[in-house]
């Protein structure tokens, strides 16, 4: 595969954030061997991640796109709910764009119209209100999203961790870097797998 994912142990014990990983590196020519390798990978308890020191604001887009391609190889033909949730999120991350209008196009395809979103100020909002709040944020900040570093799925809820970078438009030489943890609960809406509940938390961030 084009990107080698490494296996690491448990991290962030102090903050109860657990990182696991799958090792996935092969150049197998035959179809049967490819299928066997994929089955072996998916039979393991794993999360596809990047180590924290691998991720920067400048390489975030490249890593998001690489993860999207790898997720398609791992989960693209799986019918398992957990794999479909992972594929949905990795695809969304790969398609993410920093400007508001582009974000809106893909966000409308991920979040259910009546989804509950707890992300801004710790208050629960409906997705329609969240859309408006995000417009206000984009007016004040330039934003970059790091790749998904860790993802686990329990039932229909995915927990994922990534970096977010916010640069105030009034102070373009200053960037706020923060670690974000999301809990995305999925449901079927009009025949499509969508997020019906989102809880988002950050570590407060650091200024660079």
The answer, yes or no, to whether residue 13 has pLDDT greater than 60, is no
pLDDT bin (cut points 50, 70, 90) of residue 50 is confident
Do residues 110 and 85 touch, judged by C-beta distance below 8 A? no
Given the structure tokens 């020519």, which residue do they identify?
Answer: 29
Q: Is 10 helix (H, G, I), strand (E, B) or coil?
A: coil
Residue 174, C-beta contacts closer than 8 angstroms, at least 6 positions apart: 167, 168, 207, 208
Residue spans of beta strands (DSSP E) within the chain: 111-118, 124-126, 141-154, 157-168, 176-189, 192-202, 206-207
Other CB atoms within 10 A of residue 29 CB: 6
Q: What is the pLDDT of residue 206?
A: 65
**Quick one: pLDDT at residue 207?**
62
Query: DSSP assignment, residue 30?
Result: S
Domains of the chain: 13-207 (3.10.450.50)
The model's pTM: 0.76
119-177 residue pLDDT tens: 988 889 999 999 999 999 899 999 999 999 989 999 999 999 999 999 999 999 999 99
């Amino acid at each position: 595969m084009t990107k080698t994912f490494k296996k690491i142990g448990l991290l962030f014990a102090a903050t109860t954030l657990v990182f696991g990983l799958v090792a996935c590196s092969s150049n197998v020519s035959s179809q049967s061997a490819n299928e066997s390798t994929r089955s072996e990978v998916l039979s393991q308890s794993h999360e596809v991640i990047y180590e924290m020191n691998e991720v920067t604001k400048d390489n975030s887009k490249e890593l998001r796109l690489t993860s999207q391609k790898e997720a398609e190889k791992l989960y693209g033909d799986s019918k398992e709910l957990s794999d479909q949730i992972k594929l949905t999120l990795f695809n969304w991350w790969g398609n993410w764009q920093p400007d508001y209008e582009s974000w809106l196009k893909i966000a409308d395809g991920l979040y259910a119209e009546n989804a509950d979103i707890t992300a801004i100020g710790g208050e629960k909002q409906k997705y329609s209100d969240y859309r408006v709040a995000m417009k206000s944020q984009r007016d004040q900040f330039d934003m970059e999203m790091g790749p998904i570093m860790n993802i686990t799925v329990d039932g229909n809820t995915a927990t994922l961790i990534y970096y977010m970078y916010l640069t105030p438009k009034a102070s373009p030489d200053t960037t706020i870097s923060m670690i974000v943890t999301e809990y995305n609960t999925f449901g079927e809406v009009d025949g499509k797998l969508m997020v019906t509940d989102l809880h988002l938390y950050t570590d407060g961030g650091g200024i660079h």
